[in-house]
Structure 1
Amino acid sequence: MKNQKKWIQFGLILILFFTIIPLPSIQKYTEANETEVWTEVSSMNHPRKSFQSEMVDGKIYVMGGQSTGDQKIRHSSSEVYDPLTNSWTEISSMNYNRSSFESEVIDGKIYVMGGYSGELTNKLDKSRYVEVYDPLKKSWTVLNSMIKSRSAFDSEVIDGKIYVMGGDLSEDGYSTEVYDPVTNTWSRFSNMNLNKIYTSHVINGKIYVLGYDDSNAERITTLEVYNPRSDTWTSLRDLNKNRRYFSSIVVDGKIYVVGGQEDDYLNYVEVYDPSTNIWTELRPMEEKRSHSQIQEINGKIIVMGGKGYPSHSYLTSTEMYDPNTDNWTQMPSLNNYRYLSESQVLNGSIYIMAGSDFENSVEKIETLPHTPQSVKAQINNVQKIQLTWDVVNNADEYMVKRSNSKDGPYEIIAGNVVENSYVDQNVETGTTYFYIISAVNQIGEGENSNEVTVLNYVPNTISPGLIDEEELVEGTSLTFNWHPMDTQNAFQIQIDNPSNEVVFTSEWINTENSSYSVPENVLERGNVYGWKVRIEDKFSGTSPYSDPRYIKINSLPELMITSHSDNEQVQNNSVSLAWNYSDLDNQEQLAYQVIGSQDNWESWSYNSNEIAPLDKTHTTPSLGNGEWDFGIRVNDGLEWSDWVYLNNILLPSSYEPNDDFTTAFPFTYSSTYSTTISSDSDVDFYQYTASQTGLDELTLQSTIDNHYEVHIFDGNQNLIGTGASLAGKVYYLVEGGQTYYIKIFSRDGSFSEEPYSFIVNPLELNIETQYQYDENGNLRNK
């Protein structure tokens, strides 16, 4: 990104006394910065020169001045520029029109003093008037006037007081006075030794003025200093070069003087060091100029416009001086000539306003590099953090700064970064880092970028899912899990489809839990998804998303019953069922289950339980006669299919012959068996195997006129229980795995074509022990 600097060597070889004297080299603005030129912004509402400007709360205020076009007037108007809207707005006019006056800012208020007043044709009408503008009240207030009328003078502020010195006075140009805003009073202080000053500066609470005493035969440009504590002026060292209409500025406590006029325009530059009272000549400017604008940005001196050689022409050229290298650099030229103009530095840009040519136009140059945008931080792995940002066109390099705390303080971890990316390899796992980026060019460092936060941690050991292929998973109501982190404060889940399109993103969920249950209707069977998680720690650091884990939602297996159809009558009480099996995920059938009901699924009369063999057939034991419904489901190793039903299957009463123990008809729990006692000697025997040790319940039902008896026998044909149809229920103890017989017969020889029915179920016992105590708390009974 960094462009190679172009150099233009300006040399002039003069052969004088056989000595070769080289002139200084001038550096051009780099190619990167050639894209940054002076740009026209909104023009002021009034043309003006010899005016004043001040900056308050990020806005530029201009006041007064004069115009020399068709309308030769001296202004009292004022206006303010807002860089956010690029607009000038007229504010209240001053109470007096004025040019060549002075202004200062104290506590956010603008004070204006003196200058030429009245009609423009009367230049000698100097003013004593003072007034103040309050941006909050948007109004001017007249204050006590100065002691003397002044124009073309200088002013400075020390400790909240305004000091004014000299001016274009017909007499007594040495005079000074000071204003106290608290008391609204002016008072004199010691006169200067000079009676013509051009510039002044405050350094360490003292006022330095540059000028000369025109009472001397030779006008020698010199310097003196005022100490407010002792109310004394002290003459200091003369400049190396006499000059008028020069520009000066303070950088790092030293006074730099550039250009000006003597017999001709000058490009001489020198610097004064108050600590040594010495003027030192510096490398001269390329352009000879006077009345130029001068500003400082990041320790660099920018000189703009003015009047120069040849033919007293107005200038557009600008150049920059670097005190560290004693080099001047050509900068882009102004769009318009500027003389008797004003300039301000705002947000790293220089604004230059009005002047003798194009008197209401305003232009700016963004001298400092722009703020890096779109800063991103990404973890390459737990050992590296990759930072990227957009290229800044007017930057030569970048600085990367890091902190372990939000909003700093920051440490510079990399300077001279020439690409718009950087890899931070000095990181620790589980630590949150806060980064900002700044851009740097020849003038200095721009503003810091927005802070980007990264938690140097990638959630791991997450399930379900695989990285390189999908894992077949059960159901659409999944729970995602990952390895917990001690400082986790919140997490967020994202689910993508195979095209990396986001299907679902959760909100940030404030919890230390390391699991998440996917809401319903997010996942669909048969689809492939990639899910990932990122976490936020207690320091607001956000990790990147984990690598996606790929899952495929299992498709339920399917079956189709092939052995029977609905409403079919079968020939015996053992039903042989068969089905076809299919699975979209090519999984084999690993289990099945068959159930049957005789009461429209209010209860199960038959349950095969889950059977592991791969067979796709099943034969029930002998079931009770009557109408049955059957259900079948299959399992693919992950999930059960939906139930597939066979309805209204009619089973016969094919229990005969079952007249003794050897021909007893086998039956199962929970099935209802129904048949008739067909003669006075007819006896029906049944047998079953107890599923568990405990109490079984037999329920016998018949018409009230049929007096049927039931006897219960164990496997050794010992009678263990009796009952009658009118009683309804018989309870008896059984032992799991043993055979038991049921005998049903007419006790009085009666019989009927009306059927009887019975059903056997294991009885669930709830046994509660109660304890009885006497009045002393002793156990009496339980």
Structure 2
Amino acid sequence: MYISNDNQNIFNLRMVEILSWIRKQKNRTLRVLTSFVLLLNALTLGATAAYSQSMSTVGFEGAASLPDHSLTNPMNLTDKAVLPGTDVQSSVYGNVYLNGFAKTLGASFTVTPAAPIPVFQISQYGQSALNDGRVMVTVGEYNANYNLIYNPQLNTWESAAPMPVKRNRHQQSTLKDGRVLVTGGFLPLEDYSPSHKAYLYDPQTNTWSEAANMPQGRAGHSQSVLSDGRVLVAGGEAMRETLDTAYIYDPVSNTWSKVANLPFDLAGAGQSTLLDGRVMVVGGSSLVDREWRPSSKKSLLYNPTTNSWSYAENIPILGDNAGRPQSTLLDGRVLNNSKGSYIYTPSTNKWTKAEIIPTGFYPMEQSLLPDGRICVSGPDGRGGNAVYFISFNTPPKLSIDNTDQTVWKEDGRGVVTLSGKVSDMNNDPVTISATIAGITKTTIVSNTSSSPSWTLQWDLNSDRLPGGTYTNIAVTASDSAEAVTSTYTGLITVNHAPNAPTNIQPGSFSPSNPQMIATGASVLSWTFNDPDAGDIQTAFQVVILSADGKSQIYDSQWVVSSANTFTVPANLINRGSVAGWYVRVKDSKGAVSNFSPLAYVRINTMPSAELTSYTDGQTLTDNMLTFTWKYKDADQQAQTEYQVVGTNDGWKNWAYNSGEIKSGSTSHVAGPITSGSWNFAVRVKDGTEWSEWSFRNNLMLPNAYEPNDTFEQAFFVKMNESYASAITTATDVDFYKYTAKANGVDRLTLNVPKGQNYNVHIYDSSKRLLAAGIQETDIPENVLYEVTEGQTYYFKIFGVNGGFSGSSYSFFLSSLTLRNDTRYEYDNNGNLIKKSSTAQSQ
């Protein structure tokens, strides 16, 4: 028969009074006295069945231990499951009550039965979970004194050494070192006086030893182990009074110390230590004028650091007061099963009612096992006991490596990776999934209690992730009951490697028809192209191979540059040799392209020109010279251009320059050339590069322009050709004439010998002066004047103040081309405020 907390308190007072009287009677045996008390208990509560059952199940005080066979009854798990709110068909060994992961506060849980405590219906006992996962129950009520240990793996109970002195309404906690601390309680053999004794049980040796006495005897107090391993004992009751005092026991020093009193006296409260180190005390009752009054629905919080008490939200129970049993779950919430089930969330300071406990079951004690389950025990409502395990599902915890990453297909780095660690207190398999660009990846992680690593990967060779950047990717971890989501906050750059360079120059992709190049112009070029818009080249590598593509001639290695050209080192490849080259590039992310196709080139064999006209030192009789030469090219390329130049000052200046003439001719007429000693040179081009110069030196030429000292003797010249002559005496002057080709402005440029000051005068066909160039010594003359197409114009060159020189002067006639530049200026409103034009000659 279940005894409520309030009735139990009334009963305890009666027991104390009756047993005090009985112990004064010397003519009764202890066995009879105890039997009388049990009978009175049964009659008081109208439960004779409970009496008969208790008598037949447990012996009297002398029976400290029980036969093993009575503690190892097998569990019956074959009965049907029932839903909350329906009757539970219970037997001594219990039927299955299974919520099937119902939802309470968003947390899934299951309730499963275990082998019940194999004795008569007990109350006012102690219970705690041992560090190895077993559960220990200490019973010392009335005529009984025994300890039992439950093995969850075998679902069996076994006896353990009894307490040194039997007691009830004591409190029990498992210390961090594995020992069990039992404190206080009423002593049935001492008129139910409150005990100040404390004992330590060692599960390793199955022995008891005394701990330091509490400063104040008490029973019905609350007790829990603090985060630092010490134990807080609060409240309770003594003879006809409830207490507000609190003490802390230090198992290392085996000492007790006084701490701040509770805000009010209370007994029978629930107590557990929160994950942040504070202690929550809930409910309880107070004894006023020998009457028990539900003291509160209040929730108190003790802070060991500040040694102070504060209030939390009241527990929202209906009816009488709350109290035991109470535990802090592994996730930090508090489960109180005193009057129904209530769950407290410290982060929100809120209580919420839950439907957890099976109908008809009256929980008295509960313990948190190391694996997170709650073992709750108490009367089954039918004269027996029941034990249930409440397994709260703890959502998995997910961590993510938020390192930035850049990936691309090529170079073996084409994999996007999300990784991290996952843990699950329930050791459930956890499914982890994430989606990038509509492509979902999933993995299942086992052995999650050990925080294993997880990895999700997208292979760009098979998963077509578009190029671009990705961040804030949701990653979900689900243990099938609950799911949590975290976010990858790093930056993933899916990069596409550049395409192989295009527009490869120079080169032919056919090794049998290589492109001819000159060693002096071995500049390689290409075009960078990348699928990712806006990407740029950051480096290149050029490799030059032999004609068969097997031997490497040169490797530039990676050159950090955005340039799309590369100059081949001089003399790297012999003239006449064939070689191939290719190039690859990197983009701004470091992705590497493929090599371009192998482009073949042939290094040009330089052509040559051998002058065949005249001989060095020859004296000529004509100022009109005809140069001839023999063209040679080992590559059988035809001559495409030639150039003839001459000097009469030892190659300080070119007094004669034919310019680069595009022609395959091997002869050239020059002249008339001014008198004096001349050196001439010719070079040819094979379409690829120019040959070396071929020289003819010290040719002596007569003065073909003389006499040209008057208008009538003026020497006829052509435009756009260079001419050279000399002022040989103080009275020498030189006249020239030409015919204008078009209306406009002509220009005469005169270069004077060093140290001389020559002037030039321009005349029209009527011999009237049009213009003059009168620069100072050593300054060339540059004279502009208007002309009419078809008209004859004269110009005279003479030394100022009779100046003359053995060195030649040179001149050049050309038409002036003008370029008009117009500049427009506008104000801020777009209005034209200024217009200016300039003309520049070209």
**How would you bin the TM-score normalised by the shorter chain?**
0.3 to 0.5
When the two structures are superposed, what TM-score results if normalisation uses the length of structure 1?
A: 0.43
Q: Larger C-alpha radius of gyration, 1 or 2?
A: 2
